[in-house]
Amino acid sequence: MAFGNPTKYWQLDVSRVRDVEWDEAVSKASQEYRNRMHNLCCDNCHSHVAYALNLMQYDGKSNWNMVHIAVYLLLHGKYTGFGGFLKTWLPFLLIVAVILVFIFVF
């Protein structure tokens, strides 16, 4: 994986698939993204998942995008464990701590 192993996941419900079979949609999305270069901002793993969800019309929607995926993951996602939580938030907290030290000490 380009950015490391997943640290958080959103468990989907197969019964909310409307249009095509789950496996078929995932396979088609993977074929579409097989030769694409993933990048951090525009065409990333969230876009790949959104493409699959649009194919299967998950939850009756066909307008999934990377922002929707990120918001749903933030609101409904679960960490893979305590290590996943640390890998997600520790770098951010360290940066904030360094900034606060510079603000209040220097």
Tell me the pLDDT tens digit for each residue of 62-100. 999 999 999 999 999 999 999 999 999 999 999 999 999
Tell me the pLDDT tens digit for each residue of 40-68. 788 888 899 999 999 999 999 999 999 99
Report field, pTM of the whole predicted structure over 0.85: no
Write down the H helix ranges in 8-81: 22-33, 45-56, 66-76
Question: Taking the CB of residue 52, how many other CB atoms lie within 10 A of it?
Answer: 22
